[in-house]
Amino acid sequence: MSVELPFAPVDGIIRRHAGDLRVSAGAAEELARRIQRHGASLAVDAAAVASEDGRKTLMAEDFEVESVPDDTDLQLPVAPVDRIARMDVDDRFRVSKDARVALADVLEAYASEAAAGAALLAEHAGRRTVQAEDVQTYFELVE
């Protein structure tokens, strides 16, 4: 599976939570991979909801969001999130613009939580760099 998300915005999310710690490229890549996997899974669930409702378009409410933010407020770009939403979903489904933005918002919150946890793990290990293993350990602990 190729990673659809560019690493730079994911790196930015980690840095926002890392404080004075450095961030390895591997950490950004690992988190991008996890974001993509989670987003594809959420889209499959959203498609099931849409299908039950007799719709062929994924809507923002299918991602269980209360409101859709302005896409300019997001750090994750919407175009790659759109590709992630379509990865494991049947081709007959469309993804509305609001659904793409809602999914990007959900994934950004998911990434922020993971980034904060990974930074805490790096500090706890006495390292000055957040590494891929910190991201992996975070997900092992919470899943």
Q: Which domains are delineated in the chain?
A: 7-138 (1.10.20.10)
CA distance 76 to 7: 10
Per-residue pLDDT, 1: 63
User: Predicted confidence band at 2 (pLDDT cuts at 50, 70, 90)?
Assistant: confident
Q: What is the pTM of this model?
A: 0.95
The answer to whether residue 91 scores a pLDDT higher than 70 is yes
Separation in Å, CA 139 to CA 42, 82, 87, 114, 120: 17, 24, 22, 8, 13
CA distance 44 to 4: 17
The answer to whether residue 4 scores a pLDDT higher than 90 is no
Element (H, E) at 58: strand 57-58
Task: List, for residues 26-80, the tens digit of each pLDDT value.
Answer: 999 999 999 999 999 999 999 999 999 999 999 999 999 999 999 899 999 999 9
Furthest-apart CA atoms within the chain: distance in Å = 53
The answer to whether residue 99 scores a pLDDT higher than 90 is yes
Query: Which residues, 6+ apart, have CB-to-CB distance to 95 below 8 Å?
Result: 43, 57, 58, 82, 85, 86, 89, 103
